Structure 1
Amino acid sequence: MANAERKLANVCIIFFIVAATLHIRQLLIEWRFLRRATESGFLTSPFFAELRVFFIASFLLCAIGLLIKRRFGLVLSVFGLAAVLLGYLGWRLYSARQLRVASQDYFFTQHPEFVPSHASGLIGARWWDLLTLGCCFVLLIWEVTLLTKRSQRK
């Protein structure tokens, strides 16, 4: 990688570590919620906790890939970013299904204030989730461009 590309890669590594840290924080919150729900006898889905673990692993794969500083590392990072985008797609599909069920439920039609918050169709999403999604999309394009440039040089 050229010097400018290396500097950008270092910024990306920091971004991936921060994103993983934010998802670790959310995982701890989900873990606490699941434990309390289980102790109280409530039936709940571990989807969001599993999703956070998936995101953490994907972001760490991205960071490790960029730390390798070789073509193989860049390929790993591209796979990590693709996994992140697939994770957000899965989250969106899960949210759409849950919101469709809630819209047909009598209780939620009578009390719409209890429908879960859903920024851009993602139940439980925070502003940084949407920012992370956008950044990952841009970074995926950048990394694929780097890979194709390297392929053309050889």
Structure 2
Amino acid sequence: MKITTTIACIVGLAANAAWADDHRVAEDQTPTGKFLTATEVRPILEATKGSWIGVREFNGQDLVYFTHLMSWRCGLYEVHYSINGGDLEAFAIPECPPDIANAMAIPEDAQVYISRELGSVQTVEVSILYDDLGTDVVSFDRAAVLLP
């Protein structure tokens, strides 16, 4: 079990390196008190991993919501996801200007979900790249994140 988990972590980190843009550099991590850096948002995202996404059956489709990650997007460079073990796809997150009044506010025009065929989403893997170049990967089973 330990070996499998360790190997999975190493493979996951190697896969993350493939999607991280080479031009990225670590941002200054001086806490602002406004939750604009990885240093400030990482503890929250680590404590709330089970809420990173939600799956909702609506209007004949599976909707995969990234609302939680959108709210804590400041401090993140990238969000990627994989449905049912497929290829990693980018989920667009708006940038956070340093003078933003409320870092957790989701911009009005932001897309907070993706849609798939009803019942097709069984697993979702989410990978995030923090603005300090740290990464995190979480896998979700449908039943664990299915919204009422």
Could you say which TM-score interval applies, normalised by the shorter chain?
under 0.3
Answer with 1 or 2: which has the greater Rg: 1
Report the structure, 1 or 2, having the larger helix content.
1
Q: TM-score, normalised by structure 2?
A: 0.26
